Amino acid sequence: MYRELLIFAFVNIYKNIVQAKKENKKLLAVLIDPEKIEINTIPAFFEKVHQSITTHIFVGGSTDIHNQTEKVVSAIKQVTHLPVLLFPGDVSQITNKADGILFLSLLSGRNPEYLIEQQIKAVPVLKNTDLEIISTGYLLIDGAKETATQKVSNTKPISQNNQELILHTALAGELLGQKLMYLEAGSGAKIPVETAIITTVKNNVSIPLIVGGGIRSKHQLENAFSAGADLVVIGTAFENDARFFEQLKK
Ligand code: 1GP
């Protein structure tokens, strides 16, 4: 029975995000980069995660040179019942051990490899999984630092001054049928996505809005939520100091 309930919960990751948005319940994803976490630290790390307001776990990075993703996801699944979503830098990071995948298209860039090629390459892999696939528009926005996403994808971020382009790109993604929109300043960004941008997109796009990159304080997290983010993603701040979870207690 318990297992059935869990399965029910996990096959509805997207529905649960939409429901949370309707109820104005804010969501927090902890991003785990398989290249940066030691497997043996995962149980202790998750003790902290579980005491915090974290609702989702994202796993991924721009690269995963040593193919650690599957091992890391398996270790995470052993210690948590939170939904685990892949946030893959490329097709090699797809594993059936997770619950779902953000099926990303890098809409801000003009590199066909990350707009559609990787997605085509992913099809034969995804056909052999039962991952919940969530189509996600991914917009890289200038966070005042050249980020790994920018380097690996060989694309330029959109300037934070170009709010119209950001909004129109997000709207194009929604019109194309994408189910989530992710405003990304890049991992370790110096400047997170401005609250005015979050609000503009929030007011014009009806799909749930994810915001991440450079958020490293409770104040910044609350600002992103009040500006309109439905789900905020934090990675680096937790990697640098897991005591940050203590400021985000349930
Ligand atoms: C990066 O949005 C995420 O893809 C999280 O960024 O590592 O800066 O928290 P940080």
Model pLDDT, residue 155: 98
Q: What average pLDDT does the segment 172-187 reach?
A: 98
Query: What angle, rounded to 10 degrees, do the helices at 42-51 and 69-79 form?
Result: 50
Q: Is residue 159's pLDDT more than 60? A: yes
Per-residue model confidence (pLDDT) at position 1: 45
Ligand 1 atom index nearest CA of 182: 2
Where does the pLDDT of residue 10 fall: very low under 50, low under 70, confident under 90, or very high at 90 and above? Answer: low
| Helix, strand and coil percent figures for the chain, each rounded to 5 | 45, 20, 35
Q: List domains and CATH numbers for the chain.
A: 2-19+26-242 (3.20.20.390)
The CA distance from 175 to 115, in Å, is 16
pLDDT tens column, 106-133: 999 999 999 999 999 999 999 999 999 9
Q: Give percent above pLDDT 90 in the chain.
A: 96
Confidence (pLDDT) at 11: 60
Measured from the Cα of 87, ligand 1's closest atom is: 4
Looking at residue 244, its pLDDT comes to 97
What average pLDDT does the segment 49-64 reach? Answer: 97
Crossing angle for the helix pair 218-227 and 195-204, to the nearest 10 degrees: 30
Determine the pLDDT at residue 3: 52
Work out the angle between the directed axes of helices 195-204 and 163-175 (0-180°, nearest 10): 30
In angstroms, the CA 31 to CA 49 distance is 11
Alpha carbon distance 170, 180 (integer Å): 10
Tell me the mean pLDDT in the region 190-210: 98
30 lines ligand 1 (CB under 6 A): no
C-beta of 173 in contact with ligand 1 (< 6 A): no
Q: Can you give the pLDDT at residue 6?
A: 52
d(CA 100, CA 188): 25
pTM of model > 0.75 = yes
Per-residue pLDDT at 148 exceeds 80: yes
Q: Which atom belonging to ligand 1 lies closest to the Cα atom of 234?
A: 9
Query: 219: which residues sit within 8 A by CB, 6+ positions away?
Result: none
221-232 pLDDT, tens digit each: 999 999 999 999
pLDDT, mean over the chain: 95
